Amino acid sequence: MTLQDIKDTIEDYVHAAKLCIEAGFDGIEIHNANGYLLDQFLCDNINKRTDAYGGSTENRARLTLEVTDAIVAAIGADKVGIRFSPFGFFQDTQPSDIIGQYGYAMEQLDIRGLAYIHVIEPRQDLQNSEVTKIQRLKDIAKERGISEDNLLSIRPFREIVKNTPLITNGGFDATNAAPAIENSEADGIVYGRYFISNPDLPQRLAKGLELAPYNRNTFYSSGNEGYTDYPVYADSKL
């Protein structure tokens, strides 16, 4: 990307955010996860730039911060959240210093008054099982001579993010969300897959009702099932 490309891209983010607010959304979430553009800039195994957007930890975070600041200026900080996947490897994102790189970005964002910072759990993986993912993180910790604790929990970022609500996602069901809140690991829990198969998820969680299983095979299919045909609890028991 040329510097003009970067400037144009920042304007695209702002334009999209404005359209969301005009359409009636309460706010937007900046997608800085899963190996997409902003995430690629953070990772030194991908970002080989030698200008102001590459090289150092601060430079690799520059685009994330500039995009965030531009959107905040356009729609207000209270309408902006941002999502990170620091432990993810999708599309080969693997910075040499996971806590240092993502921690720096979150530290800078923590003083901007955002609605929230969203961090995906280490166990969550778009391609591998939870067991496989955890083992890979343990292997990386051993290879780099760092504590496994730094790669198996979002707690290192909880210690960095002091002023902004920290929410988390990945592998939560009806049994393990409350402990994460009670242990102060996060301020809120985000559900994705179970919200697909349980359109009445908040009510089920509040009342301790059984959660309907989801079918991953239909998540990204173009068929007629998988998103809108899951019944609410009362109907599923008829």
Q: Which residues are catalytic?
A: 36
Listed in sequence order, the residues at least 6 apart from 2 whose beta carbon sits closer than 8 Å to its beta carbon are: none
The distance from CA 191 to its chain's CA centroid, rounded to whole angstroms, is 12
57 burial via Cβ count (<10 Å: 0-12, 13-18, 19+)? middle
Beta carbons of 227 and 192 less than 8 angstroms apart? no
**163: DSSP letter:** S
Is 229 strand, coil or helix?
coil
What φ, ψ does residue 80 adopt, rounded to 5°? -125, 125
Listed in sequence order, the residues at least 6 apart from 139 whose beta carbon sits closer than 8 Å to its beta carbon are: none
**56: DSSP letter:** S
